[in-house]
A = this chain, B = another copy of it.
């Protein structure tokens, strides 16, 4: 039976500020990417998120971001390769420390927001981040990355270093004709019915819609929903329904990337 991962960015509250419907979303996921305190998240939020995910059997990855709480990590910053390496090591290490007492291994690393854009473009930063993933996930380094950017710096650096890259489809983001998506500081919420249409087409045809209404092929190991979207909980439930309808089983990605992918 065909399988696909369902992933959501969680743990993006900060102190007294709540963000995302984490409690409603979590039970429907196979994997969670948890914020690590730089763009969002804080130690208390991380501990609670990790514990809840573990108790539900949801795999946990680290979602490191740029050090910009005020901009939610969605503003490009001109960081150095040493910054990039150490920011990832620091954040991933902090998250792992909450997982270890629970006996749960770290599933993956997935750079957040504007960090993503930078890592598509700069081979130096991409190599630094790949090294950070290798150093913090010895033996089984795994990156999550948006699909459609096979030729970009991070993907190339990861492949060169033997790091598995599972690719995502983000139905709640706008895609350019090139296959790249757009990082915005605030997102318009996605209607669940629209999510259903997008995910159905992706599963059945291996195609997604771009911002200008065309479709392009995209293959992915995971469907990702952003936890700060106002409709995230409804969207995730809808995606589960569409998976059931299409006879695709939600399951954490394992093995060689691409093996669980829908046919293009």
A interface size (C-beta, 8 A):
50
List of B residues within 8 angstroms of A37 by Cβ: 90
Whole-angstrom distance between the alpha carbons of A36 and B46 in the complex? 17
List of B residues within 8 angstroms of A75 by Cβ: 77-79
List of B residues within 8 angstroms of A98 by Cβ: 86, 89-90, 93
Q: Which residues of A contact B (CB under 8 A)?
A: 13-19, 37, 42-44, 46-47, 67-72, 74-80, 82-83, 85-87, 89-98, 100-101, 114, 135-136, 138, 185-186, 228
Beyond contacts A67-B68, A101-B138: 18 other A-B pairs, Cβ-Cβ < 8 A, are A13-B17, A14-B17, A15-B70, A16-B185, A17-B17, A17-B19, A37-B90, A43-B83, A46-B90, A47-B85, A47-B89, A71-B77, A71-B83, A75-B77, A77-B77, A80-B185, A101-B135, A101-B136
Query: What are 22 A-B contacts with C-beta separation under 8 Å?
Result: A16-B72, A17-B17, A17-B19, A42-B70, A43-B86, A43-B87, A44-B83, A44-B86, A46-B86, A47-B82, A69-B69, A75-B78, A76-B78, A77-B78, A90-B97, A92-B97, A93-B97, A93-B98, A94-B97, A96-B96, A101-B135, A101-B136
